[in-house]
């Protein structure tokens, strides 16, 4: 049995390794006789710039040299951001194939999922960022606003919890298909429940990137706006199971972005979203000047 330096090694959590170095090797060696197996330990290798070659870590330490480690995590990050791996990492033909299979984030499909109370500003922000992304170009952009989807995709559904969940899952499916084909889907439903949002995230992340944007405008501000008169009807009992009044809204625990439209203008909020997408590599920086 060949045992590598990170055999069956889960990714680190909170910056700490799950196992100590070589712990898996020691575990297998401990039971090798009992299992009647021969163990062939493989030592970790690092690149040594002074020698311009890879060397076992033990040899590097013996000779007091400096080794460089380029991890799988760093490789994935560099590919996602469109950065070049070090020249010594692999052959150009291999790197070229990796780039083809793992294009940078700016070329991958993406879903922007706005969630928040009715009247929080979701649709306004979604429409503005939609216009900016269309203007910037590069990828097809589709807007799946809650009202639009209700009219064209879920017209037969009511507003019970079961039907609201089904409506959000339909939105998630369409968004995942857009994402799979390299486009940008912008969704702006209320989506009040943790479990449904998580299901949509999992559906989309099988195809590309999911960015949850919690529009955290306070309920009292949303109710004061009440452009459609929905809160007034809900207070009168005319609309049952209305989110924030007679039905709960489960606040997102770890959204990628949190926006409060009572604290900033729509354009300021959209600029914060746009800069986040640029910083994380989801947009090509060349589109910034075009969108201004």
Instruction: Summarize pLDDT for 192-212 with one digit per residue, the tens.
Output: 999 999 999 999 999 989 999
Q: Of the ranges 15-29, 202-216, 217-231, which one carries the lowest mean pLDDT score?
A: 15-29
Cβ atoms of residues 107 and 182 within 8 Å: yes
CB 215 within 8 Å of CB 114: yes
d(CA 91, CA 243): 56
CA distance 32 to 24: 12
| Residue at token pair 């590598």 | 4
Q: What is the pLDDT of residue 288?
A: 44
The larger pLDDT score, comparing residue 13 to residue 172, is at 172
Give CA–CA dist 235/242, Å, rounded.
9
Query: Does pLDDT of 292 surpass 60?
Result: no
Percentage of the chain beyond pLDDT 70 is: 96
Query: In angstroms, rounded to a whole number, what is the distance separating the alpha carbons of residues 209 and 202?
Result: 10
In this structure, what are the phi and psi dihedrals at residue 63, rounded to the nearest 5 degrees? -95, 5
Q: What is the pLDDT of residues 108-152, one digit of tens each?
A: 899 999 999 999 999 999 999 999 999 988 899 999 977 778 777
> Is residue 262 scored above 90 in pLDDT?
yes
pLDDT score recorded for residue 287: 43
**Going by C-beta distance under 8 Å and a sequence separation of 6 or more, which residues neighbour residue 217?**
116, 117, 119, 120, 121, 260, 261, 262
Q: Using CA atoms, how far apart are residues 182 and 272, in angstroms rounded to an integer?
A: 23
Cα–Cα distance, 183 to 14 (Å, whole number): 32
Strand 2-3 versus strand 40-41 pairing type? parallel
- Where residue 237 falls among pLDDT bands split at 50, 70, 90? confident
Section 27-53 average pLDDT: 92
DSSP 108: S
Tell me the pLDDT tens digit for each residue of 56-94. Answer: 999 999 999 999 999 888 998 888 888 889 999 999 999
CA neighbor of 145 nearest in space, from 177, 160, 167, 176: 167
Average pLDDT over residues 36-42: 91
d(CA 18, CA 252): 28
pLDDT-derived band at 14 (thresholds 50, 70, 90) equals low
- pLDDT(291) > 50: no
Q: Residue 93: CA atoms inside 13 Å, Cβ hemisphere, count? A: 0
CA Rg value for the chain = 25
Domains and CATH numbers, the chain: 107-291 (3.40.50.300)
**What is the rounded CA–CA span in Å between residue 107 and residue 89?**
23
pLDDT value for 289: 42
Q: Is 224 exposed, middle or buried (0-12, 13-18, 19+ CB in 10 A)?
A: exposed
* pTM exceeding the 0.85 threshold for the entire prediction: no
pLDDT bin (cut points 50, 70, 90) of residue 187 is very high
Query: Residue 155 — very low, low, confident or very high, per pLDDT cuts 50/70/90?
Result: confident
Structure tokens at 235: 């207070």
Burial category of 63 from C-beta neighbours within 10 Å (exposed 0-12, middle 13-18, buried 19 and up): exposed
Predicted local confidence at residue 13, as pLDDT: 64
pLDDT tier for residue 8 given thresholds of 50, 70 and 90: confident
Q: What are phi and psi of 186, to 5 degrees?
A: -115, 115
Q: Which residue has the tokens 């409506």?
A: 167
Q: Please give the average per-residue pLDDT across 258-266, as a whole number.
A: 94
Average pLDDT, the chain: 89
285 pLDDT higher than 70: no
Q: To which residue do tokens 């207070």 refer? A: 235
Contact indicator for 235, 245 with CB cutoff of 8 Å = yes
């Amino acid at each position: 049995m060949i045992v590598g330096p990170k055999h069956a090694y889960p990714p680190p959590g909170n910056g700490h390794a799950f196992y100590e170095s070589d712990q898996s090797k020691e575990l297998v060696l401990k039971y090798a006789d009992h299992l009647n197996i021969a163990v062939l330990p493989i030592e970790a290798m690092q690149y040594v710039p002074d020698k311009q070659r890879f060397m076992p870590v033990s040899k590097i330490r013996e000779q007091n040299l400096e080794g460089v480690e380029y991890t799988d995590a760093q490789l994935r990050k560099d590919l996602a951001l469109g950065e070049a791996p070090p020249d010594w990492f692999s052959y150009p033909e291999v790197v070229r194939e990796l780039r083809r299979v793992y294009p940078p984030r700016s070329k991958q499909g993406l879903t922007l999922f706005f969630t928040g109370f009715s009247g929080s500003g979701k649709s306004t922000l979604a429409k503005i960022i939609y216009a900016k992304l269309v203007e910037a170009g590069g990828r097809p952009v589709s807007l799946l606003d809650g009202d639009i989807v209700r009219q064209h995709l879920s017209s037969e559904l009511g507003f019970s919890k079961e039907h609201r969940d089904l409506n959000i899952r339909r939105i998630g499916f369409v968004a995942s298909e857009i994402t799979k084909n390299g486009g940008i889907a912008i969704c702006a439903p209320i989506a009040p429940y943790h479990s449904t949002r998580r299901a949509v995230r999992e559906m989309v992340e099988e195809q590309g990137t999911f960015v949850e944007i919690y529009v955290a405008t306070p309920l009292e501000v949303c109710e004061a706006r009440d452009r459609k008169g929905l809160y007034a009807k809900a207070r009168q009992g005319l609309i049952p199971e209305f989110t924030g009044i007679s039905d709960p809204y489960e606040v997102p625990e770890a959204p990628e972005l949190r926006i409060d439209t009572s604290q900033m203008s729509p354009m300021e909020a959209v600029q914060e979203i746009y800069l986040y997408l640029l910083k994380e590599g989801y947009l090509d920086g060349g589109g910034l000047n075009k969108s201004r």
